[in-house]
Structure 1
Amino acid sequence: EILRKYRKIALVLVLILSAIITPPDVASQIIVAVPVLLLYQVSIYISKVVIKREEKQRKKDVKRRS
């Protein structure tokens, strides 16, 4: 949830960092920013999947203990 909450801030930071890292060409900045933003989105998705798995496992453990 934290990753989703700060998504807009991450977008701005990635764009600023890509502007600093790359030459003053918009295409280069986009080439750097897009993969980083995609990785950010993938990390949000992966964390969501992992959290759901952990919740399922906890429910199974609680049922087994009962």
Structure 2
Amino acid sequence: MPCAVFETAWPEKRYFAWFPLQNPGIVSIPVGFLLGWLGSLLSGRQETEAYDEFELRTLMGADQS
């Protein structure tokens, strides 16, 4: 879209790809997994009591309050 609006931005029609592969999932899927794992490590555990209540309600299938 930007090239169609601003043709002077890319005067030479160049092909650009971060990963010049036929299937970019080979790179993006493992990178996404690793970033998700890193985010879970950096966030830490929060509110274990609330999580335990949620887990009980999920496993029992009913509200226990």
TM range (shorter): 0.3 to 0.5
Considering only CA atoms, is the larger Rg found in Structure 1 or Structure 2? Answer: 2
TM-score (norm 1): 0.36
- By relative contact order (CA 8 Å, sep 6+), the higher-ranking structure is 1
- 1 or 2, which has the higher helix percentage? 1
TM-score using structure 2 length = 0.37
